[in-house]
Amino acid sequence: MSDRRPLGGVRILEVANWIAAPCAGAWMADMGADVIKVEALDGDSMRGMLRQAIQPQAPRIDHPFQQTNRGKRSLAIDLRSAEGQAVVHRLLKDVDVMTTNLLPDRLARFGLDEATVRSHNDQVILAEVSALGRSGPEADRTGFDMTAFFARGGAMSAMASPESGPARFRPGQGDHMTSMNLLAAVLAALRVRDQTGEGQTVDVSLLGTSVWAMGSDLAATMVDHQTPEEISRSAPPNPLINVYRCRDGRWINIVLAFPASWIAICEAVGRPEWIEDARFATIEDRVENSGQLVAELDRVFAERSMPEWAALFDAHGITWEKVASLGEVVDDSQLRRNNAFAKIEHPDGTFETLSTPFNIQGADVDVRGPAPEIGADTVAVLEEAGFSVGEIDTLLGSGTITNGAS
């Protein structure tokens, strides 16, 4: 039977922590790659972060770490030592990809800068994630998605409101988008290597990903050199692209982007007289009198519950969605029908996590197990790489590596 894993036989060495680079590694593991996670002796900085800094009474299962590290193997090693660096250099000879988000100076200290990596394997794909990009005077700056992606990239200011100031975002959103860019770059680089036999270096950044995500606004700004105005719900540029509160307290989002939709919404909300109302008759009128139309729609939406509006809008061909709670999202039958979630069997109990955010028909793409414990696979990985029992014992005795049980 043929191997249906898209990345079966591909070996990844992941020298990375937190989310952006490891998340791409999780997807590659889902696609069948052997992902070896190189960790410090005390583990990835993300391990236990949920309990330590965010939610002390969190469940025993560290779900953020599990989401971004499922299906990998863990090698715990001291990269500050010459012995530890020599181990990784031997491993490099047999890997296809090395992913990292370490700063350039740390890569150099650990003997994992590009020149050194290439000296051990000139065909490896070196994939780097940074906050602000690998070139320029700020290449060494640290950053998280809240700083580099949302603040520096313009999303916070563009989504600000007069009432609340710069927008705040949920954790990990910028990291996960950056992971998608990293995955795409690695897959493309593997394709180039298959064609040329030459190793490739790819780099993605939180800031660069943010700029692309904000492309609609930034493309306009580069043309007219104007900063988009803050958008108020009570007087938006287009009151037919807005959220409204229903009688049951639920919010509904409507997007009517075409002038012809005006007739449909007037009929759906039972206000056919608005069609010829001089205040709202044209899109220019509706923009000029945006505050008045929003006030009218607020009163109308308060007359029916969200499910009632949903039925009316479906009948009139209006594009809408409820503003769903996170609980509703994880119970969403449409998402479940499209394989958005997967179960993981963990020693502490079975739990659900997010699947890879794409489907490949006919391929074997699936979550392949929980995230490893620190150093759980150290000895196995070194044995596979040809280390003798004596060499492994020496490394264990010196504290250069741990095997997850010591």
Q: What is the DSSP string of 141-162?
A: ----IIIIIIITTSHHHHT-BT
The ranges of the chain annotated as CATH 3.30.1540.10 are: 241-325
The model's pLDDT over 245-273, given as tens digits with 9 standing for 90+, comes to: 999 999 999 999 888 889 999 999 999 99
- Between 249 and 56, the more confident residue is 249
Q: Measure the CA angle with vertex 179, ends 358 and 193; round to 5°.
A: 85
CATH 3.40.50.10540 in the chain is located at 11-214+339-402
Nearest residue to 210 via CA among 137, 139, 143, 140 = 143
Q: Which helix (H) or strand (E) covers residue 286, if one does?
A: helix 283-288
Q: What is the mean pLDDT of residues 3-16?
A: 95
Looking at domain 241-325, its CATH class is: alpha beta
With 70 as the cut, is the pLDDT of residue 57 above it?
A: no
Dihedral angle of Cα 15, 16, 21, 27, to the nearest 10 degrees: 60
Q: What is the pTM of this model?
A: 0.90
Distance between CA 302 and CA 83 in Å, rounded? 69
- Residue 122 in this model has a pLDDT that exceeds 80: yes
Mean model confidence pLDDT for the chain: 91
Instruction: Give, in words, the CATH class of 11-214+339-402.
Output: alpha beta
Strand, coil or helix: what is 173? helix
Residue closest to 101 by CA, chosen among 65, 80, 126, 64:
126
